[in-house]
A and B are shown apart, each in its own frame.
Chain A
Amino acid sequence: MTARSTDHGGAAPNVALDRFYRLYGAIGFLPIMLVVLIVLFAIFVPHFLVLPNVLNVLRSSSYLVILAVGQMLVLMVGGFDLSVGAVVALTSVSSALVMAGLKGQMADQPALIILAGVLAGLGCGFLVGLVNGLCVAFLSVSPFMVSLGTASIATGSALLLTNGIPVYGMPVGYVDGFGRGLWFKLPSAVYLAIAIVAVVFVLQNFTRMGRYIVAIGGNLQAAIVSGVPTRFYLVATYVLCSVFASISGLALTAQIGSGQAAINSQLTLESIAAAVIAGVSLKGGVGKVEMVALGALFLLILTNAMDLLTIDPRIQTIFLGIIVVLAVALDELSTRRTRRV
């Protein structure tokens, strides 16, 4: 019954609102909203439900899904990862540099070049996640601050390595075959996202780690006392999140065709937004990967519609900010009702 650290006194109760939130929790706000949104946009937004656009949305949301799933895991252990966007940039840059650098020597072995690049990219994610995880688990410092620090380091490194200029020279097979290719009519990234969602689904429901993640986020003391190796799993979670960010970065880079340090700077916020919309609690211990995938889809359908309606991307940024705050507000208000002292 310890007080929450930022509890400054709650809002007054309201019975009708109470019922609304219980409904929200039971049925799942998100799937309904998603369907409503799709129907609305199909009717009112030009060129929304045509095949090229649908493929576009699916492809774009795949990158976010992978990112958001990683963020979800970190949120579930009661943490936060503000460095995912920076990891994407660093991965993009390092994988492109390695691949471009090896092109001269191994021109006849594109597979090896690609492998080297991929490993370099994943290595970056692994490293950043390791730093984040170790600091949080062993130094007990705030995950917000650590990831802010590593984000700065990662972004700075990415800029330093490229001087802000895009890196070209990745193997054609990588870019056209993987990045921009269609496998059985669907963008390759979609399969990647589905694979990752499947893996995490198994993780959450069928492995020890899945339970431990909930335990660590739900009641760290209980987990420690029960003999859960909390530090190990904390580090593992942060590493997993950053590696997922790397994977997303690799796929995104392949699609763009060049390594960019300035790659989409909103990704971090979008990953958090997708997770929160999907019902992942900022306090930890709550989250389902299927919902997060839907959350990412939701966000991207919204952005896509705004693009089609030619709403300035800069204004879209403003909307994103508002959406995040509202989503979190809703989450906070609903948990306040259902929380048992």
Chain B
Amino acid sequence: MFRVLFVDDEPQILNGLRRMLSGSKERWQVLFAGSGSLALQMMEVSPVDVIVSDIRMPEMTGPQLLREVRRLYPATARVVLSGFADEAMIRDTIGVAHQFLSKPCDAGAIEQVVRALAAARVRFPVAELRRMAGDGTCIACAGTDRARLLEEVADPAATVRTIGAIVRGDLGMAARTLHLVNSAFFGISRCVGCPEHAVQLLGVERLRALATSATAFPGVRAGDDPGFREPAVALHAERVAALARAIVEAEGGSKAMVEQARLAAQLHDVGRLMLAAEFPARYRAVVDRSSAADREEVERGEFGASHAEVGAYLVSLWGLDGEIAGAIANHHRPATCAAGFSVLTALHAADALVGEASGDRHTALDREYLAAIGLGDRVAGWSALQAAGASVVAPPATVGAGDDPAREATRAAWPSDA
């Protein structure tokens, strides 16, 4: 049975949650602990799937508890529920908490969060990869990019623009930044799909504190293949995001949908990053023995899940909108959930068209799917958008791609389906 554990030093809070969740139609087992040490004792008897903890508690604080939970039970989804607004303490939760809920929080919203986590868990049954995604350190950023970020924030003249240029150039950094603004860590919590916009929302001062805190942007671990973290990955994500946005706008989608499509596109390859970082040799072997057509099948055979499913699970852990997780999970095979024009349609088409143009054909355009939802005639127009937009999305100027032979070499190491 799906188990949820609430931890708060205020018994009235636990009473309220217990009553509110009593009589729920969900078949969850709901547990309550008045302190961090009690929570750990309970988990020792039987681990839980979700832990929802207050931040400020006497003796063991929320961040201390969640850090311990991450170490002992990395697969457990970790959620913070706190009315506390001290930035330093909130920074402590970054990297150890997947989601941040602000007190007072609508009772229904808490139930909804747990429900979404339960659903993600059902969809993604691979325990090994759940541990990997839950641990979260696999979405580290490149050591060199982290060094550049540290150098930049140490400069008093740093601006959101100069920091944004570094963040958008590293997929791990971009992903973490989007994570922070799309969950309520700093009370921002809105759907933002553009890393530079996310940097702007966080602000220079906060990024300065985040960059130097080590937990927000962990550097790449020893033994990781740096080839997977090069600007080409980030650049691909950015191009797909630009085209997905253009496609949604062309199809008359709402502003919210535009932002969802950008966010899904920015994060659609996060699963590749994670698998490549966690299992460098195995993932390289998978790339070597698969082609664009059977890549997902080979990934499933090797790991039990494809990179698309791994990425979708991660964004579910972060509590991003279900549509975004769905689009990421199915961006190679949109036909499985054929409906009208959706975020998934935009992501799939953008990924395929950008791939075609750049010679990285790991997603083949599913024309049958597009025809089935009545959009078969749009491909030419979208291709034109791609051609028009390709020049707009240039690599971040400060990265200097192409002028450094070493970088070129590692760039070439990115597994290409071409």
Q: Are A and B interaction partners?
A: no
User: Measuring CB to CB, which residues of chain B are less than 8 angstroms from any residue of chain A?
Assistant: none
User: Measuring CB to CB, which residues of chain A are less than 8 angstroms from any residue of chain B?
Assistant: none
